[in-house]
């Protein structure tokens, strides 16, 4: 169901395709951007009387199955694609469509296939996917740029106002280096399917699609075409001011400041770093509501005095994605992007936020 869109332009894609063979039942849903196929093997829970295929309206079929009275149901496709579903004393007949008209899923060669731990992959998705663009004016930025190599996986998401880049070492990555730009929406669904456990994820990159295999689930996503910007050159190499915060302290102060700024037209928070007096102040105002000013406790502060303004939602997202209990923010100039990094040297995770000009 997760792959089926109610706004599809191809009517048959509003249905679920069912293919029954001697060995298994295969269910497929697709909206052309993502396709999900699930295989249910023959067992005590699934007995096959005769094989065949049908496409059924997804929403109705799923609602019927949820609401059936019994534990089991029988399912039979009759003439002209009419499908009978019987459970205890409930008997539904719904109209199906010819499965031969359902678009075929791409065949992806498995010559550059590799596996990765589900936990690692889900982590890297959650640490980068939130930063992708939601407007489609630059389509390539609506995806996360992955670079898989034998010893590491590097992922970058950016909407040109903020950026999140995560690199994780791999034990046995693909033998050939692979570059993929995967749509953010596909990754969100994939992350949900991987779930909280740690299943093995098999990655099969193709020309215009990538296939992920998780147990009995096949998840296809289209790839975004185009060249992804060279984001490495955007990351500053040195800083003039740096401050270290406890994640929870800064998050709470930011929440309080944005209570006021969200009410105004311009959602901007101001950060003042006074290194001489060792003081950090967060403030925000809205013409309609009023203002807020708070001195924020920090672990250490060094460098030059600095004042800058930024969108608090961007920093909140960055803090939410952070994986250490304290973070370091590094600044160069009031209008130059600043970075948010973990306080541990061995974690390769950098987030970049562009300040807002307020004059």
The answer to whether residues 152 and 197 belong to one domain is yes
Q: Which residues contact 77 (CB under 8 A, 6 or more apart)?
A: 52, 54, 83, 96
**Sign of dihedral through CA atoms 281, 282, 284, 289?**
negative
Does the residue 141 lie in any domain?
A: yes
Q: What is the CA radius of gyration of the chain?
A: 25
The answer to whether residues 172 and 280 belong to one domain is no
The answer to whether residues 258 and 298 belong to one domain is yes
The answer to whether residues 324 and 347 belong to one domain is yes
Q: Report the CATH number at residue 136.
A: 3.10.150.10
Does the residue 359 lie in any domain?
A: no
Which of 68, 1, 54 is closest to 25 using CA atoms?
A: 54
The answer to whether residues 252 and 334 belong to one domain is yes
Q: Whole-model pTM? A: 0.92
Which of 227, 254, 279 is a domain's end point? Answer: 227
**Which residue range(s) make up the domain with 216?**
114-227
Which of 195, 227, 259 is a domain's end point? Answer: 227
Does the residue 3 lie in any domain?
A: no
- What is the three-state SS of the chain? CCCCCCCCCCHHHHEEEEEECCCEEEEEEECCCEEEEEEEECECCECCCCCEEEEEEHHHHHHHHHHCCCCCCEEEECHHHEEEEEECCEEEEEECECHHHCCCCCCCCCCCCEEEEHHHHHHHHHHHHHHCCCCHHHHHHHEEEEEEECCEEEEEEECCCEEEEEEEECCCCCCCCEEEEEEHHHHHHHHHHHCCCCCEEEEEECCCEEEEEECCEEEEEECCCCCCCCHHHHCCCCCCEEEEEEHHHHHHHHHHHHHHHCCCCCCCEEEEEECCCCEEEEEEEECCCEEEEEECCCCEEEECCEEEEECHHHHHHHHHHCCCCEEEEEECCCCCCEEEEECCCCCEEEEEECCCCCC
Does the residue 199 lie in any domain?
A: yes
The answer to whether residues 150 and 243 belong to one domain is no
Does the residue 106 lie in any domain?
A: no
Q: Report the CATH number at residue 273.
A: 3.70.10.10
The answer to whether residues 217 and 240 belong to one domain is no
The answer to whether residues 303 and 323 belong to one domain is yes
Q: How many CB atoms lie within 10 A of CB 73?
A: 15
The answer to whether residues 264 and 181 belong to one domain is no
Count of structural domains within the chain: 3
Rounded CA-CA distance 310/313 in Å is 9
Rounded CA-CA distance 28/219 in Å is 10
Give average pLDDT by consecutive 10-residue segment, the chain, 359 residues. 89 96 97 95 95 96 96 94 96 96 91 90 96 92 95 95 95 85 97 94 94 97 95 93 97 94 89 96 92 95 96 96 96 95 95 90
Predicted pLDDT at 218: 97
Does the residue 4 lie in any domain?
A: no
Does the residue 59 lie in any domain?
A: yes
Predicted pLDDT at 109: 86
Predicted pLDDT at 4: 94
Which of 175, 192, 227 is a domain's end point? Answer: 227
Predicted pLDDT at 358: 80
The answer to whether residues 204 and 291 belong to one domain is no
Does the residue 1 lie in any domain?
A: no
The answer to whether residues 346 and 290 belong to one domain is yes
The answer to whether residues 135 and 169 belong to one domain is yes
């Amino acid at each position: 169901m997760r792959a089926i869109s109610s706004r599809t332009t191809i009517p048959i894609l509003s249905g679920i395709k069912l293919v029954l063979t001697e060995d298994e039942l295969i269910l497929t849903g697709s909206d052309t951007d993502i396709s999900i196929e699930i295989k249910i093997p023959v067992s005590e829970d699934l007995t096959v009387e005769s094989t065949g295929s049908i496409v059924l309206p997804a929403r109705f079929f799923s609602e019927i199955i949820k609401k059936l009275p019994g534990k089991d149901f029988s399912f039979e496709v009759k003439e002209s694609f009419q499908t009978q579903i019987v459970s205890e004393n409930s008997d539904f007949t719904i109209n199906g469509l010819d499965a031969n008209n359902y678009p075929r899923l791409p065949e992806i060669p498995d010559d550059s296939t590799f596996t990765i731990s589900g936990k690692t992959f889900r982590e890297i998705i959650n640490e980068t996917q939130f930063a992708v663009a939601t407007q489609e004016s630059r389509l390539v930025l609506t995806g996360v740029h992955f670079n898989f190599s034998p010893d590491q996986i590097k992922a970058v998401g950016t909407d040109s106002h903020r950026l999140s880049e995560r690199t994780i070492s791999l034990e046995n990555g693909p033998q050939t280096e692979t570059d993929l730009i995967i749509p953010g929406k596909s990754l969100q669904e994939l992350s949900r399917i991987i779930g909280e456990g740690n299943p093995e994820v098999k990655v099969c990159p193709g020309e215009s699609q990538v296939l992920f295999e998780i147990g009995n689930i096949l998840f296809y996503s289209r790839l975004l075409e185009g060249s992804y910007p060279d984001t490495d050159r955007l990351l500053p190499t040195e800083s003039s001011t740096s401050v270290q915060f406890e994640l929870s302290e800064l998050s709470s102060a930011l929440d309080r400041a944005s209570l006021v700024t969200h009410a105004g037209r311009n959602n901007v928070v101001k950060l003042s770093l006074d290194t001489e007096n060792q003081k950090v102040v967060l403030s925000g105002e809205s013409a309609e509501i009023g203002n807020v000013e708070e001195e924020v406790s920090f672990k250490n502060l060094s460098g030059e005095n600095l004042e800058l303004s930024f969108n608090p939602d961007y920093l909140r997202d960055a803090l939410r994605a952070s994986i250490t209990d304290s973070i370091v923010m590094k600044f160069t100039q009031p209008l130059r992007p600043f970075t948010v990094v973990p306080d541990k040297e061995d974690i390769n995770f950098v987030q970049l936020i562009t300040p807002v000009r307020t004059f």
